[in-house]
Structures are given as C-alpha cells and as structure tokens.
Amino acid sequence: MGRETKDELVRFGVAMEQSLLADLDAIVEARGVTRSEVLRDLVRAEVVRARAPKGVPAVGTLTIVYDHHVRELTERLTELQHQLGEHVRATMHIHLDADRCLEVIVLRGQSDELQAFAERMLATRGVTHGGFEIVTDLAGGSPHDHGHPHSHSHSHAHPHAAVRTRKR
C-alpha cells in the first residue's frame, strides 16, 4: 500500500467585520472546535459546490427569508420563478412574523440553470438569508422511474451527490 502524504497546513490572515467575527466565535464555541476547523468546513463546501458538474440534470431546493415590506420584492421573486416555468416544481411560503417570510422552492432542470436562478434569488435586494442545496447525480430516466409502483411505504435509498452552496 502506498503512503498518503498529508497536506501541509498554511497560515494566512483573514479580515472581517468585528460583529461577523463574534458570530463566527459563537459557532466555534457551540461546536467545540476552532476557527480554523469552521473555516475549513466552509471552504470545503464551497469547493464541492464549485466542482459540481455543469449542464447535467439536477434537482434543488432554494430556501430564502425576505422582508416582504421591501418595495416590489414579492412581485420580483414571483417574476423570477415564473421565468423558470415548469422547472419550479413546488413552493412553500410561510409567514415568520410581521415583516419576514420564508419560502422553499423545489427546482428541477439543468444544474447550471438552477444554480444561476438560485444566485439571482439570493442576491435580490430584500432577501436576508438563504441557501441552495442541489443534487446532480440523477442516473436513470424519469423523475419517478424506480421500476415499480409506489403503493408501499418503504423508502428509496439511492446514492446521490449532494452539493451545498453558499448561505446568506
């Protein structure tokens, strides 16, 4: 067996706002790890996202939280969804409080198209938080092609490549 070489750790400086650093430190404390470990996890997730295959069949869920008082935001978000047409498979809308709404949008289409849509939604003024999960390993035919009817209660465990993208 060949010996694996261990990557050498490299130190570098990171500048960020004091309030953001305080938020990072709260995560570090809650997880019982170091800043370096949390930052490595974040970078790994971004690297996986960046390496996701382009132009392949995919499904994804986009979660956004937004301030519905922002002028014309609700209309803009609806317009963006209508532009994607049948690629938007389902949505769920929840009123969180007097100002904020949460929406979960289930998408199906080409991976790069879904990624671009998610980035537009997440970058929309008034969207305060969000994230996008995408699955690109969709070997097989139709969305429900398991070779048997679904009149039973067991789950379908299938290996899928899940890619987590940026969160706001």
* Lowest-confidence region among 25-29, 101-105, 143-147: 143-147
| Tens-place pLDDT, residues 7-35 | 899 999 999 999 999 999 999 999 999 99
Where are the extended beta strands (E) located within 7-99?
A: 57-67, 88-95
Residues 38, 93, single domain; the answer is no
Q: What mean pLDDT, rounded, does the chain reach?
A: 83
C-alpha 64/C-alpha 70 separation (Å) is: 14
- Give the Cα separation of 156 and 145 in Å (integer): 11
Largest separation between any pair of C-alpha atoms in the chain: 63
Asked if the model's pLDDT at residue 66 lies above 90, the reply is yes
Domain check: are 78 and 22 in the same one? Answer: no
Residue 56 and residue 60: Cα distance in Å, rounded? Answer: 12
Task: Give the orientation angle of helix 73-84 with respect to helix 111-122, to 10 degrees.
Answer: 180
Q: Would residue 128 count as lying in a domain?
A: yes
**pLDDT of 164 over the 70 cut:** no
Does some domain include residue 144?
Answer: no
Does residue 6 form part of some domain? Answer: no
Same domain flag for 63 and 41:
no
Q: Based on the domain organization, do 46 and 63 belong to the same domain?
A: no
* CATH number of domain containing 86: 3.30.70.1150
Kindly indicate the confidence band of residue 160, based on its pLDDT and cuts at 50, 70 and 90.
very low
Say whether both 40 and 103 belong to one domain. Answer: no
Give the count of domains, the chain: 2
Domain that holds residue 24: 18-50
Least confident of 70-74, 100-104, 109-113, 149-153: 149-153
More confident: 56 or 2: 56
**Confidence check: pLDDT of 56 > 70:** yes
Same domain, 69 and 132: yes
Identify whether residues 75 and 114 lie together within a single domain. yes
23 inside domain: yes
Q: Are residues 111 and 82 in the same domain?
A: yes
Q: Is the pLDDT of residue 148 over 50?
A: no
Asked if 163 and 81 sit in the same domain, the reply is yes
Regarding whether 103 and 66 lie in a shared domain, the answer is: yes
Identify whether residues 62 and 133 lie together within a single domain: yes
